[in-house]
Amino acid sequence: MAKTIIVSNRLPVSLQHKFGKFEFKPSAGGLATGLGSIYKEGDNIWIGWPGNDVEDPGQRQEVAEELQKLKMAPVFLSKEDVELYYEGFSNDTIWPAFHYFTQYINYHDEYYEAYKRVNRKFCDAILEKADPEDTIWVHDYQLLLLPMMLREALPKSTIAFFQHIPFPSYEIIRMLPWRREILEGMVGADLIGFHTYDDMRHFLSAVGRLLGLSNESGYIQADNRLVNVDSFPMGIDYGKFSKAATSKKTLKNIKKFKEQLGDQKLLLTIDRLDYSKGIPQRIKAFDRLLEEHPDFHGKVSMIMVVVPSRAKVKTYQELKEEIDTLVGRINSRFSTLNWVPVHYFYRSFPFDELSAFYAMSDIALVTPLRDGMNLVCKEFVASKTDKKGVLILSEMAGASKELVDALLVNPNNLEGMKDSIMQALTMPEEEQVQKIGTMQASLQKYDIFQWVKVFMDRLANVKGKQKELESKAIDKSLVKELKNKFQSAKAPILLLDYDGTLVGFQGRPEDAFPDAELKHLIAELSGKCQIVVISGRDKETLGKWFEGQKVDMIAEHGVWLKERGDDDWTLYAAIDDSWKEDIRQVMDYYVLRTPGAFIEEKHHSLVWHYRKVESGLGDLRMRELFSHLKYMARGHNLQVLEGNMVLEIKRPDINKGRAATAFMKGKEYDFIMALGDDWTDEDTFKAMPKDSYTIRVGFAYTQANYNIKSPTEVRKLLKELMED
């Protein structure tokens, strides 16, 4: 039976050496809880680094056996791996870049090489356990290359990826020398999830600009695979936090802490030591409040928990020093014998003490400069069983998109933060209850279990869509069938579109002329069947490019026809271009505003090209022009159509389908095959008799019976038709 494999850098346990023996300490993180409902079932398994160094092969074996009992499997990392892959590329390159701290990015090829090597290590460890039909769910920024490595080894498997940290704007990602490899790595997945819509939007833009893969409503067409990109804001184990808040242990802790603190309003901050968390800014805002409002002295204290992290890294050591200094300054300045403004802890706390902090604090101050989601704010809200409390939340945390009832602040605005603390300290109870109540309802509904469920549903959905498309992909048996029928036919005909079908796209349309291979192929093929090149190109270009070939040509989507042996083109549809002047004026205006854009005039249409326009700007202008033209088109009875980096306005009664039907009328064919790559060819496909073979180039939804990958594959297929 197919199983699910969860993969993350760290396993949800940490390995500890004690008295010469190994012990595994379970991590109580939200992710571990949420995914517990998956990896503990059936044959499922969690693969990752146990978080400690084990060199000896015998000991490794022992660890692996112990982990197996917990439904886990280890990836062992050497000291060098940890230093270069984890502390290096993951935490010293990707982490600062993805959190917009470009000044801290370290660009070392050595780091990247190790990152690649360790991603490969993970891949190998997974391949030892995985079967082709398994589902593999990869987590987070340490493993960005892994989805594609897995895809190459197991092309049919279901691969999902979720990123827990932000995905930065294109402007940042483009700074990394390894940007393409990183994006290609991620696109190996079938489903790519982020916390917020902004992360997803940034990713899609980067993939569009750097890999040239466009998307439609979050679906990317990568090779012959549809990849879905979506946002899945991660929830918490709501029940666990709300229950813990009134548990015996927590209540006992609250009593103890309150006795020690006295009657105080409490401000709580909890973070891992990190420059992305905005800890100094927060202390400064509190400092300003105490300076401006002496009436609060002795009445409000901050409990500040900073969990040690990355202590060997210089930037973190410097941050720690800065925090120490700021806390020292505020406490030395304002403390009295029975009151301290900031209770500062540089350590972590057991869960029931953390729960007590959440439950007893009046205000949580969660003000990161950048955070993928931030779970602390959600845990605080869930712990407020009496609904009394205020959450002050940074706009830069993913959670702010959901928790709009918090007091939202810009963490760089000290004055604003100070005002928000004031507002929180004086907020009427009713308002607190209303705000916390609304946030609780949402957190309860979208908890971690719901998150896992929604993610898995989407994964099944994209696999379903892929199957639909795949069923139309040309395979060996179809090629064989085509070949047999083609070779035994007495009157075969091929209707071939040109651009995007027989040749790939070029920056300048005039550069897409037929190369020697294509000329040779057409010459050979035309000896064995009738060929109709049916294109949107103007008759002059088409005539020149196929001069001397034994082919029939339909130009400009059906305006002109030139049959084999004819000297001249004949008009296939009446021309009326009285409308062109008005439309051209509008298009000209958009050319003037858009460097790189140009107009192509055809007999029956005007085409606005934007392939060479700065990406993003081209789309924007095209949309604007589209609505402008649509409005004008009504008056002239014209049709506006969006093509591959073009916008075309034309008469609706002229299309390839009509032309093809007219061409074939009264003639008998016993093998019909039509190939094309865009919406103009859909008219041809629709017009073909039932037993024809219609094939669309590219894996888009189509009226055609089949899809084929690219012009290269088209040429291969055409050659195969003639082979013995």
**193 binds ligand GDG, rule: CB under 6 A:** no
Q: Which H or E run contains 73?
A: strand 72-74
Determine the residue type at 362.
Answer: D
Residues in region 251-310 near ligand GDG by CB under 6 A: 270, 272, 305, 307
Q: Which residue's CB is nearer to ligand GDG, number 403 or number 554?
A: 403
- Residue with structure tokens 């980067």? 206
Give the other-Cβ count within 10 Å of 499's Cβ.
20
CB of 508 to ligand GDG, least distance (A): 46
Q: Which residues contact 381 (CB under 8 A, 6 or more apart)?
A: 389, 391, 403, 436, 439, 440, 443
**374 binds ligand GDG, rule: CB under 6 A:** yes
Which among 86-94, 345-353, 613-621, 679-687 is the span making contact with ligand GDG, rule CB under 6 A?
Answer: 345-353
Indicate which single residue of 376, 406, 439, 452 sits in contact with ligand GDG (rule: CB under 6 A): 376
CA distance 669 to 672: 7
Q: Which residue's CB is nearer to ligand GDG, number 29 or number 262?
A: 29
Q: Which residue's CB is nearer to ligand GDG, number 245 or number 687?
A: 245
Q: Which residues contact 651 (CB under 8 A, 6 or more apart)?
A: 576, 604, 605, 637, 638, 639
Indicate which single residue of 197, 351, 598, 626 sits in contact with ligand GDG (rule: CB under 6 A): 351
Q: Which residues pair with 231 in a beta bridge?
A: 194
Indicate which single residue of 349, 449, 505, 679 sits in contact with ligand GDG (rule: CB under 6 A): 349
CA distance 229 to 108: 29
CB of 282 to ligand GDG, least distance (A): 15
State the binding string over 453-472 for ligand GDG (x if CB under 6 A, else -).
--------------------
The per-residue DSSP string of 267-313 comes to: EEEEEES-GGG-HHHHHHHHHHHHHH-GGGTTTEEEEEEEE---TTS
Is 497 tagged catalytic? yes
Residues, the chain: 724
Helices (H), 297-408: 314-334, 351-360, 376-383
CA distance 142 to 98: 12
Indicate which single residue of 12, 30, 88, 411 sits in contact with ligand GDG (rule: CB under 6 A): 30
End-to-end CA, the chain = 43
- Residue with structure tokens 């009832």? 405
Give the other-Cβ count within 10 Å of 563's Cβ.
14
**346 binds ligand GDG, rule: CB under 6 A:** no
State the binding string over 597-616 for ligand GDG (x if CB under 6 A, else -).
--------------------
Which among 142-150, 365-373, 664-672, 702-710 is the span making contact with ligand GDG, rule CB under 6 A?
Answer: 365-373
Torsions phi, psi for 375 (to 5 deg): -95, -20
Which among 284-292, 375-383, 630-638, 679-687 is the span making contact with ligand GDG, rule CB under 6 A?
Answer: 375-383
CA distance 609 to 380: 54
CB of 294 to ligand GDG, least distance (A): 32
Indicate which single residue of 12, 74, 233, 372 sits in contact with ligand GDG (rule: CB under 6 A): 372
Residue 229 Cα distances to 13, 144, 184, 251, 526, angstroms? 30, 15, 14, 43, 44
CB of 31 to ligand GDG, least distance (A): 6
CB of 436 to ligand GDG, least distance (A): 18
- 702 class by beta-carbon count within 10 Å (0-12 exposed, 13-18 middle, 19+ buried): buried
Q: Which residue's CB is nearer to ligand GDG, number 150 or number 376?
A: 376
Indicate which single residue of 154, 234, 285, 439 sits in contact with ligand GDG (rule: CB under 6 A): 234
Three-class DSSP category at 348: coil
Interstrand relation of 158-162 and 191-194 (parallel, antiparallel or unpaired): parallel
Which among 344-352, 436-444, 481-489, 555-563 is the span making contact with ligand GDG, rule CB under 6 A?
Answer: 344-352
Maximum distance among all Cα pairs of the chain, rounded to whole angstroms: 106
Q: Which residue's CB is nearer to ligand GDG, number 163 or number 694?
A: 163
For the record, the structure tokens of 401 come out as 């998109």
Indicate which single residue of 348, 541, 703, 705 sits in contact with ligand GDG (rule: CB under 6 A): 348
**6 binds ligand GDG, rule: CB under 6 A:** no
CB of 540 to ligand GDG, least distance (A): 59
Do residues 448 and 236 lie in contact, with contact meaning Cβ atoms separated by under 8 Å? yes
The per-residue DSSP string of 209-276 comes to: HHH---EETTEEEETTEEEEEEE------HHHHHHHHTSHHHHHHHHHHHHHH-S-EEEEEEEES-GG
Indicate which single residue of 92, 379, 447, 681 sits in contact with ligand GDG (rule: CB under 6 A): 379
CB of 273 to ligand GDG, least distance (A): 11
Indicate which single residue of 373, 625, 641, 660 sits in contact with ligand GDG (rule: CB under 6 A): 373
Which among 49-57, 349-357, 464-472, 620-628 is the span making contact with ligand GDG, rule CB under 6 A?
Answer: 349-357
**628 binds ligand GDG, rule: CB under 6 A:** no
Q: Which of 81, 405, 497, 538 is catalytic?
A: 497
Closest alpha carbon to 363 in 305, 413, 407: 407
**356 binds ligand GDG, rule: CB under 6 A:** no
Q: Which residue's CB is nearer to ligand GDG, number 42 or number 308?
A: 308
Residues near ligand GDG (CB under 6 A), total? 20
Q: Which residue's CB is nearer to ligand GDG, number 392 or number 587?
A: 392
Q: Which residue's CB is nearer to ligand GDG, number 62 or number 395?
A: 395
**218 binds ligand GDG, rule: CB under 6 A:** no
CA distance 187 to 547: 43
Binding site for ligand GDG (CB under 6 A): 29-30, 164-165, 234, 270, 272, 305, 307, 348-349, 351, 354, 371-376, 379
Active site positions, annotated: 497
